Amino acid sequence: MILDKGICTIFRKVNMSLSGEMPRPGYQLWWKSWYGELDFATSDSRPTEGRTENRTDARIRIQQNRELRQHDIVVLENVERFEDHTGPIYEITRAWHGQDDNSPAEISDLSLEVYQP
């Protein structure tokens, strides 16, 4: 798959407060990558008992980064600061790391959910 949709920016949630202050959440630039959009399906209409359901609003493929984790924040724009984004904000709900079927490229497939800070 060609990663030609654009550049996405991934932020990590961090505590921006100084020592002794009340916690103050912030977002630290973590990773940038070219991305491609993947097809996806909505959740099952009859979930099985004991299964955790995650809503999926988008799925993208990026260059592999095994340090990405659940709850990292994704902006589908090339920005330097979290405050500079203009589009929707997503949270990673699932990351799959592997190899592209059509090339030797190592990739990460991310399932995303719309995020409201």
**pLDDT for the residue 59:** 94
28 pLDDT higher than 80: yes
Residue 81 covered by a domain:
yes
Residue 35 covered by a domain:
yes
Residue 10 covered by a domain:
yes
Structure tokens at 31: 């990773």
Q: What is the CATH number of the domain that holds 69?
A: 2.40.10
Confidence of residue 65 (pLDDT cuts 50, 70, 90): very high
Tokens 């654009």 correspond to 6
Confidence of residue 102 (pLDDT cuts 50, 70, 90): confident
> Contact at 8 Å (CB) between 65 and 92?
no
Residue 1 covered by a domain:
no
Residue 63 covered by a domain:
yes
More confident residue, 50 or 90: 90
Residue 48 covered by a domain:
no
Domain that holds residue 61: 6-17+24-42+54-114
Average predicted confidence (pLDDT) for the chain: 89
Residue 47 covered by a domain:
no
What is the number of domains present in the chain? 1
Secondary structure (H, E, C), the chain: CCCCCEEEEEEEEEECCCCCCCCCEEEEEEEEEEEEECCCCCCCCCCCCCCCCCCCCEEEEEECCCCCCCCCEEECCCCCCHHHCCCCEEEEEEEEEEECCCCCCEEEEEEEEECCC
Residue 108 covered by a domain:
yes
